[in-house]
Each structure stands twice: as C-alpha cells, then as structure tokens.
Chains A and B, each alone.
Chain A
Amino acid sequence: MLDANKTLSKESQLFLENLRLYLFSSGKKTEEVEDIMEELAAHLFEAERNDKSVEHIIGRSPKEYMKLLSDEMSFDYTGSLKYILIILFGASSYLIIDKALNGGIEFSVLELIGYPLAGLLSIVVYMISFRYMASHKLSMVKQSVLLSALGLISIALFAGVIIISGMYSTSFMKFDNTGNVIAVIVAISIFISLSIWSKTWVLIIIPILLFGPALILDSTDFQENVKQVLSTVITMLGIMLYCGITLKKIKNV
C-alpha cells in the first residue's frame, strides 16, 4: 500500500480500496492493478491539495469509472488459474484429512464431480459479489446480509453434494490404511507448500485448529459429547484468537 494513502481523505481511500477489490475480483493482472492504484493515489493526492473532490476526478458513477478502467486492463489467465487451483487443492486437502480422521477416505462419483463444481461455483459467486460490493455504495447492514448470503450459498452447495451423494451414490474410490496415510501426508504437504508459496501461516494454523483439538481429545477419557463440545469450543476460540492477532498485526503495519 502506498504511503500517500495515509494522507488521502477517507473518501479517496475508500474509493481506492474499492477499486482494488473490483479489479482483483475481475481477474486483472496484479502488476497493472498496482500501477494504476499508485497513479490514481498520486492524482488524488494532488487534486485534494487543490480542493478538488473525488467526484471531480472519477465522475458521478464510481461503477462506470471502475468498468472503464477494467475494460482497458488485461485479464490475468495464469494468475486466476493459480488462485483457483490453490483454493481447490486447499479445500481437497482439508476434505481428505477430515475423511481420514472420520472413518477413512472414501469418495463417490457424485462427490468427485460435485465438490470441485461446488468449489468453482462458489468462487464465481464470490467474485461477482465482490465486484458488486466494490462498485456500489452499500450500508453495513446490506454488506453483512450479502456476505452472510454468500457463506450460506457455499455451505448449501457443499451440503447439497454431501446429501445427494449420501442418497444416491455408492462408493467409487475407497482407500485402504496405507492409502489413507499416503493421502494425509500428501494433503499436509499441499498445506505446507501453499503456505510457503503464499508466505502465510493461515493454511497451516487453520487445519491445526480444526483437526488438532478433536485428535488430542480422542486420547482422553472424557465422554463423547463432552469431547465434541470441548473440541468445537477450542477450535472456535483458537480461530477467534488467530483472527484477533492477525488484525492487530495488520493495524500495526
């Protein structure tokens, strides 16, 4: 982020943040996005010193201006494919570990087709919604409703696959013990590789928080329902703590 952003008015900063989100969710090349962001920040900086408003620079409709810029910029095919593959590989790894810990890895044809399809559909819905949110002035309530709806759509898609697969499908791929161990090692390796590539701990910390408590509590003498409640509470608290620490770090940058 440009230093000048700190000296820009809130209106200009909000416009730049929304523009970044719009261009990013339109799949534009990161280099080109950063280039135009820097140039517009410099323009807004000088315009504000001469008492010009954001409207004077971008016109009456931020949406039209964002589209005008976006139409001139190149679509990043390899970059977008990379992100889609990362999300799909990450989700698959999570699924593999989850199945291995809960009775062994077993997939039906419907699951093998349904999960990637549900993942892709979720990504498309998120990208369209982020573009909409970036180019429209939405109240906090409307934003929260939209984000919740997005979460529900993703959950509904994946739940749909699980339910339909449970009703109509028979097992297509079942791993034996060695297969389970190998698949888990591959899944963990994917998490580690993705973390190294994206230079963030999130892909390692979240699976640990999701699976760790249940694994540790399994070796204790607590009752089954106590184990479940405890592992859920520890997972939730852990994720909240991690989000809190991350937010604090971002604010301090």
Chain B
Amino acid sequence: MLAIIKEGAVYGYELAEKLGEYGFDSLSEGTIYPLLIRMQKEKLVSTTLKKSTAGPSRKYYYLSEKGESELEVFIDRWNKLSSNVNKIVKNKGECDGA
C-alpha cells in the first residue's frame, strides 16, 4: 500500500481499485481501512480532505518522510527475501532436473 501511495496521492476507493489492478482482487476492499488507520497512527502517511464533484468529500493519502524510509526498508528486506527464495527454488529445480 505504501508503494501505491508513493506513486501519487490516492483516496480509499482509488487505492482499493489499484490494489485490484495489481492482482489483489480476492481481498475485500474495506480491509484497506484498518490498515490505513494504523498507517496514520504510525505517521507513515498524511491526509487531506478534498471536495468531490461526484459525491462526498474524499480523504487523500500522501506518503510522509517516515513512510518513505519505511518503504525503502521494506523494499530492501523484500529484495533479500525474494532473492534467497529464488536461489532455493532454482537450486531445487536444478536438483530435480539432474
């Protein structure tokens, strides 16, 4: 979610749609809100309320400085984890092939 917010400010519905586009379509859309509340409390995101011509006001989420550094830490950890998992999977594939 932090990575999507980094692409540009988004409001809840938009964020849920984007998650769906990235393949997270089996999750109920509403599950983003408990996470957004936690991210606000941990000051990873900041918010602004903007009026919408199409309906009720929308709350837009922006990535804070703390959120950016948290995202960087996560990307680092994820890269290491996925490279290690890839090594194991590749190694297993080679063993099975031999």
A interface list, Cβ under 8 A from B:
2-4, 7, 32, 35-36, 38-43, 45-47, 49, 52, 55-59, 65, 68-69, 71-73
Across the interface, B12 reaches (CB within 8 A) one of A43, A71, A72, namely A43
Whether B16 is near chain A, meaning CB under 8 Å from some CB there, is yes
Known: A47-B13, A69-B37. A41 touches B56 (CB 8 A): yes
Residues facing A in B13-41 (CB within 8 A) are 13, 16, 28-31, 33-34, 37-38, 41
- The CA of A214 and the CA of B2, in the complex, are separated in Å by 66
- The CA of A68 and the CA of B12, in the complex, are separated in Å by 17
13 sampled A-B residue pairs with Cβ under 8 A: A36-B33, A38-B59, A40-B33, A42-B59, A43-B30, A49-B55, A56-B28, A58-B28, A58-B30, A65-B28, A65-B31, A69-B34, A69-B37
Residues in A with CB closer than 8 Å to B6 are: none
Across the interface, B28 reaches (CB within 8 A) one of A38, A40, A57, A73, namely A57
Q: How far is the CB of A28 from chain B (nearest CB, A)?
A: 11
Q: Is the CB of B38 within 8 A of A57?
A: no
Whether B11 is near chain A, meaning CB under 8 Å from some CB there, is yes
Q: Is the CB of B55 within 8 A of A4?
A: yes
Other A-B pairs beyond A38-B59, A43-B30, 19, CB < 8 Å: A3-B56, A36-B37, A39-B12, A40-B30, A42-B12, A42-B59, A43-B33, A46-B54, A55-B28, A56-B29, A65-B28, A65-B31, A68-B31, A69-B33, A71-B34, A72-B34, A72-B37, A72-B38, A73-B37
Residues in B with CB closer than 8 Å to A38 are: 56-57, 59
Known: A42-B56, A56-B28. A68 touches B34 (CB 8 A): yes
Residues in B with CB closer than 8 Å to A3 are: 56
- The CA of A105 and the CA of B34, in the complex, are separated in Å by 51
- The CA of A13 and the CA of B15, in the complex, are separated in Å by 23
Q: How far is the CB of B71 from chain A (nearest CB, A)?
A: 20
Shortest Cβ distance from A32 into B: residue: B37
Q: How far is the CB of A75 from chain B (nearest CB, A)?
A: 13
Shortest Cβ distance from B36 into A: residue: A39
Q: Is the CB of A59 within 8 A of B11?
A: no
Shortest Cβ distance from B55 into A: residue: A45
Shortest 8 CB-CB distances between A and B: which pairs?
A: A59-B28, A4-B56, A72-B37, A42-B56, A57-B30, A58-B30, A46-B13, A72-B34
Known: A72-B37, A72-B38. A59 touches B55 (CB 8 A): no
Chain A CB count within 10 A is highest, among B29, B38, B52, for: B29
Residues in B with CB closer than 8 Å to A71 are: 34
